[in-house]
């Protein structure tokens, strides 16, 4: 079970108080984009064994969205950060590098 | 105006490890907007006589109070029959600023859980660390109670005030009754050292 800290209200709770919102930092392709781009945006998702960036919502608490960086295999949570960003903050990348020196920071969105 | 009736008629559970009581309706106003704005502070002072509560905290001033619900939401408490007047006052203070004050009194049910094992009863139902060292008076916690959303705070001593949606009042009452049934004390938070 994951234990997440909501950066909006500061509450640390287990995952049943939250709701998962899928992969984070997707770039939207809407009207005017090519079929391939739209398909990529709509359906194609990463499914890594290891470091993953996700959207979560504190659904039973403050109701706000945030981002989380975690390991899909060990369920280790590296950190949570604001939803008002399209890239991963440097301090989160540093935390991941501390724990997973082999991880390629260049693959972060 | 029609008479205000609580969600369940005179629901009171005694004889278990904690007492569960459905309270008479109280006035609740949901306020959304920029909490740090100067007009918000002025409006709160006028409406409930209190300042802006800290993150995750609740302030009570007699029969009025204000609770922090999220970074852009507050819950104001007042006597049931004074809700309209309070909202009028708030709306006047907000002026043309993009802020909302809505009467949610009839959408909620209010419970009191009291007794030496009240912490244990809530801890059975909510994924919250309710140890006396962590959950202290002045805090409000929005969370879930088994399958439904709820929020609670410490009224005084070992007495908790809990609010939930009115539509799930019976479910919450049944949950609390089962969690408080006689002989079910886990002796965890209330254990004597």
Domain CATH for B140? 3.30.1360.120
pLDDT of B165 reads: 96
What is the homologous superfamily of the domain A3-24+48-104 according to CATH? Folate-binding superfamily (3.30.2270.10)
Average pLDDT taken over every residue of chain B: 93
pLDDT of B154 reads: 96
Instruction: Give per-residue pLDDT as tens, B113-162.
Output: 999 899 999 999 999 999 999 999 999 999 999 999 999 999 999 999 99
β-strand partners of B102: B30
- pLDDT of B81 strictly over 80: yes
Chain B residue numbers touching A4 (CB-CB < 8 A): none
From residue A25, alpha-carbon distances to A53, A71, B40, B193 in Å are 8, 16, 34, 50
pLDDT of B4 reads: 84
Chain A residue numbers touching B67 (CB-CB < 8 A): none
- pLDDT of B74 strictly over 60: yes
Nearest to A16 among B56, B127, B141 (CB): B127
- pLDDT of B187 strictly over 80: no
Residue B156 backbone phi and psi in degrees, to 5: -165, 150
Residue with tokens 């059975």: B124
Over residues B34-57, the mean pLDDT reads: 94
Question: Are B100 and B120 found together in one domain?
Answer: no
Instruction: Give per-residue pLDDT as tens, B91-112.
Output: 999 999 999 999 999 999 999 9
Instruction: Give per-residue pLDDT as tens, A39-78.
Output: 999 999 999 999 999 999 999 999 999 999 999 999 999 9
Query: H-helix or E-strand containing B77?
Result: strand B73-78
State how far Cα B87 lies from the chain centre: 19
- pLDDT of B192 strictly over 70: no
**Residue B187 resides in a domain:** no
Query: Residue A77 burial (CB < 10 Å; 0-12/13-18/19+)?
Result: middle
Cβ-proximal residues to B85 (8 Å cutoff; 6+ apart), any chain = none
Residue of A nearest to B149 (CA): A60
Alpha carbons B134 and B121: distance in angstroms, whole number: 16
Task: Answer for the pair B173, B111: CB distance below 8 angstroms, yes or no.
Answer: yes
Alpha carbons B28 and A22: distance in angstroms, whole number: 35
Question: Are B20 and B111 found together in one domain?
Answer: yes
pLDDT of A107 reads: 72
Question: Are B118 and B172 found together in one domain?
Answer: yes
Instruction: Give per-residue pLDDT as tens, A22-36.
Output: 999 999 999 999 999
Cβ-proximal residues to B75 (8 Å cutoff; 6+ apart), any chain = B28, B29, B30, B31, B66, B67, B69, B104, B151
From residue A47, alpha-carbon distances to A50, A53, A99, B188, B192 in Å are 9, 11, 20, 41, 49
Share of chain A above pLDDT 90, in %: 90
Give the pLDDT band (50/70/90) at residue B193: low
Question: Are B115 and B56 found together in one domain?
Answer: no
Apex A69 CA angle, A26 and A64, nearest 5? 70
Residue of B nearest to A7 (CA): B71
Spatial CA neighbour of B175 closest among B105, B123, B117: B123
- The answer to whether A57 contacts chain B (CB < 8 Å) is no
Give the pLDDT band (50/70/90) at residue B7: confident
Domain of residue B76, residue span: 27-105
Question: Are B99 and B135 found together in one domain?
Answer: no
Share of chain B above pLDDT 70, in %: 97
pLDDT of B190 reads: 67
Spatial CA neighbour of B105 closest among B29, B24, B9, B183: B29
ipTM of this predicted complex?
0.87
């Amino acid at each position: 079970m994951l234990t997440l800290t909501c950066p909006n209200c500061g509450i640390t709770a287990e995952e049943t108080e939250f709701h998962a919102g899928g992969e984070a930092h997707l770039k939207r392709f809407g009207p005017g984009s090519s079929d391939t781009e739209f398909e990529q945006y709509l359906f194609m998702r990463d499914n890594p064994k290891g470091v993953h960036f996700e959207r979560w919502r504190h659904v039973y608490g403050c109701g706000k969205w945030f981002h989380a960086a975690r390991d899909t295999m060990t369920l280790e949570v590296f950190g949570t950060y604001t939803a008002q960003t399209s890239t991963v903050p440097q301090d989160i990348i540093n935390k991941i590098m501390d724990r997973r020196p082999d991880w390629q920071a260049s693959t972060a969105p | 105006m029609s008479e205000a009736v609580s969600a369940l008629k005179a629901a009171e559970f005694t004889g278990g490890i904690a007492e569960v009581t459905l309270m008479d309706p109280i006035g609740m106003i949901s306020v959304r907007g920029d909490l740090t704005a100067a007009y918000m502070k002025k409006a709160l002072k006028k409406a409930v006589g209190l300042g802006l509560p800290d993150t995750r905290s609740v302030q009570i001033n007699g029969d009025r109070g204000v609770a922090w619900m999220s970074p852009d939401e507050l819950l104001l408490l007042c006597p049931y029959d004074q809700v309209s007047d309070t909202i009028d006052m708030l709306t006047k203070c907000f002026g043309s600023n993009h802020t909302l004050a809505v009467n949610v009194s009839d959408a909620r049910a209010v419970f009191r859980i009291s007794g030496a094992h009240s912490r244990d009863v809530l801890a059975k139902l909510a994924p919250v660390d309710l140890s006396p060292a962590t959950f202290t008076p002045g805090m409000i916690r929005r969370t879930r109670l088994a399958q439904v959303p709820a929020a609670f705070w410490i009224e005084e001593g070992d007495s908790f005030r809990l609010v939930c949606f009115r539509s799930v009042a019976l479910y919450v009452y049944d949950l609390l009754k089962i969690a408080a049934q006689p002989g079910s004390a886990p002796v965890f938070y209330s254990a004597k050292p």
